[in-house]
Chain A
Amino acid sequence: MSGNLQLLAGTLARAKQENRAALITYLTAGFPTVNEGIAVIQAMLTSGADIVEVGLPHSDPLLDGPVIQAADDIALRGGVRIADVIRTAAEAYQASGKPVLVMSYWNPIDRYGAERFSSELAAAGGAGCILPDLPVQESARWRDIAGRHSLATIFLAAPSTTDERLRELTAAGSGFIYASSLMGVTGIRESVDTAASSLVQRIRAVTQLPVCVGIGISNAAQAAQVAGFADGVIVASALVKAILDAPDAAAGAATVAELTAELSLATRRHDSPAKPGLTR
């Protein structure tokens, strides 16, 4: 079975037609437990998330701040396996028909076998992968495998990325480009860094791929601001933190549903109403 790269592209195109940014939400698989995590992701998907990222927890999450580190730690101590990550992706896709991405550091996939992982993720209905420590120069073999399984390879771009590298990674990437709003690890910040919009502009100058912005986006006001210039808004730590702070899993899922709904509302652009039938 082939992966859902086309579904991902279609979802982003439809959001654009509807004059809104897509909402992309994240949860670490196996957090707080595998089944509770699946329920939380389903709550996200029924509350307005367009796309979900399922995190494959890692012992050494170099690009993650304390919130996602804590979630990864809980998931790993709970004994989560890659099969559980695949099952989480499968259930999320089956229940919603929406695109599901896996976010993973490279070593677990490399060790598991890129071919085996890709074919299992594609069979589960997955749409692609975000691999934050696999830069474009090291990615040729992976992209070949992912491409054969119709899985997107979503590269991150950072404010420090040179224009020359932006050309390389946008040429190699598929699905969308993940623009980091700031220089830093995942986590909750007070305001959206001004670097975000200029990075999105620089990316748009070299590619037609949609550009989604994440890292440091945690509330509706920030989501609305980012929706003004990006094709998608990615929220992770704020949702994970809601679960960490909740008294139990059900309360966590309810808070996540509320926050997702608020974020979803915020991604609609009010300044320039959609013209039916016209795409921009």
Chain B
Amino acid sequence: MHSKFFFPALPGQSPDGDGYFGAFGGKFIPEALVAAVDEVAVEYERAKADPGFAAELEQLLAHYVGRPSALTEVPRFAGHAGGARVFLKREDLNHTGSHKINNVLGQALLTKRMGKPRVIAETGAGQHGVATATACALFGLECTIYMGETDIRRQAVNVARMKMLGATVIPVTSGSRTLKDAINETFRDWVANVETTHYIFGTVAGPHPFPAMIRDFQRVVGVEARRQIAERTGRLPDAVIACVGGGSNAIGLFHAFLPDTAVRLIGCEAAGHGVTTGEHAATLSAGEPGILHGSRSYVLQDDEGQITEPWSISAGLDYPGVGPEHAYLHDTGRGEYRPVTDAAAMRAFRLLASSEGIVPAIESAHALAGTIEVGTELGPDGLILVNLSGRGDKDMDTAAQYFGQAAGAAGTGGVST
């Protein structure tokens, strides 16, 4: 099917019929949810075959979201990255401020097709929650967002936005009170309300068909960027780089480049205080295969299969799992996954703001930190495409606190920029 913004993967690229990417994926869910998850799979297949669905999504992505998003070259930033040419795919310029809206609008249309009046979703950084609350306002759907208490504190601006948009925000106080626990609570709501409710899952994890379907809705990022960078530079990049929590912005960028074997696919995971400290969220770098939230992938866990609590300064990456397709790309070697510490991410955060006038989300700043490393390795001939998955307005409090504390700790009496 020819569409401007909706590019579902070809059948050969998709997971197998049971939702497996190699050894990863599947559907590990309570029986009570099987009917609902199967309904989503059936409806998504119908939607893919319906030109009306693509047309409606296309209208929304063009005139509501503002696609295609820009591709911006950042030469002053690139000066700190070994002099390689660096282009940013500007998902931060989408309506609602991140790539999350691409998936949310697709699933909101599915919700309408399934005739369900209520939507629930988890959120970490609040970007997916804001996007979901936005789509629900647009379509007149009732909306409940689950968010860990810790994240509610560190992403207060997004909480206020969700409420303004008419969503109910429910604080989650179990476990580490972050994204993982918000997902648990959203699943519990879904089990009890499945007849009236669709769960707009926010990342490429969860049970089949979510990893494949959400990837399809995010593929537009890579398809656009691949065309844009080829037009601007006359070639494909040496590396495409994205941050990876659950991995939706990364898979969205990577997927269009899968057949381009000369293009390196580099995912930047949150290494928090460092992978060796135990306080991190670097699931592919330091985790092992296991099951979390409905699929088999890599997870952070102890020797008896209890999920361990992650740490990252970025609420959106603070997750002990990762999408199964990333696990597959990791194991096959097609994808490279690097840990990026809080400190490296925050340096890149400030560097992009001060050198280019673009304030990235702290999540996306992990990809920028990876870019500095990879650019330095590639040198001046290198060409790098980075997904700037979200904007950093929501992170001003965290950043102010971080740089304030860092200055105090260093005893230098302030950081000049």
Contact = CB atoms under 8 A, between A and B. Distances in A.
Given A62-B184, A110-B290, A157 B28 contact: no
Interface in B284-328: 290-294, 299, 301, 303-308
A135 B305 contact: no
A185 B305 contact: no
Contact of A161 (B28, B35, B291, B305): B35
Interface stretch (A33-41, A101-109, A145-153, A224-232): A101-109
A62 B303 CA distance: 20
Contacts of B35: 158, 160-162, 165
A48 B192 CA distance: 31
Contact of A183 (B27, B34, B192): B192
Contact of B291 (A59, A133, A162, A183): A133
Q: Which of B34, B175, B294, B299 has the most CB of A within 10 A?
A: B34
Interface string B189-213: 0011111000000000000000000
B305 A109 contact: yes
Interface residues of A, number: 39
A160 B291 CA distance: 24
B258 interface: no
B29 interface: yes
Nearest to A155: B31
A157 B174 CA distance: 27
A270 B32 CA distance: 32
Contact of A111 (B26, B31, B304): B304
A107 B305 contact: yes
B231 interface: no
A245 interface: no
A230 B416 CA distance: 73
B184 to A, nearest CB: 6
B188 interface: yes
B180 interface: yes
A92 interface: no
A137 interface: yes
A76 interface: yes
Nearest to A65: B188
Contacts of A60: 175, 180, 184, 292-293, 307
Given A60-B292, A135-B27, A185-B191, A160 B304 contact: no
A59 B306 contact: yes
Contacts of B194: 160, 183
A132 interface: yes
A180 interface: yes
Interface in B60-77: none
A69 to B, nearest CB: 6
A135 B31 contact: yes
Nearest to B32: A158
Contacts of A111: 290, 301, 303-305
A256 interface: no
A63 interface: yes
Contact of A184 (B18, B191, B294, B304): B191
B183 to A, nearest CB: 9
A63 B191 contact: yes
Top 7 A-B pairs, shortest CB-CB distance: A111-B305, A108-B305, A158-B32, A184-B192, A160-B35, A107-B305, A107-B291
9 contacts: A62-B184, A62-B187, A107-B299, A134-B28, A155-B31, A156-B30, A158-B30, A183-B191, A184-B191
Given A135-B28, A160-B35, 6 more contacts: A107-B292, A109-B305, A110-B291, A111-B303, A160-B32, A183-B32
Interface of A: 58-63, 65, 69, 73, 76, 81-82, 106-112, 132-135, 137-138, 155-162, 165, 169, 180, 183-185
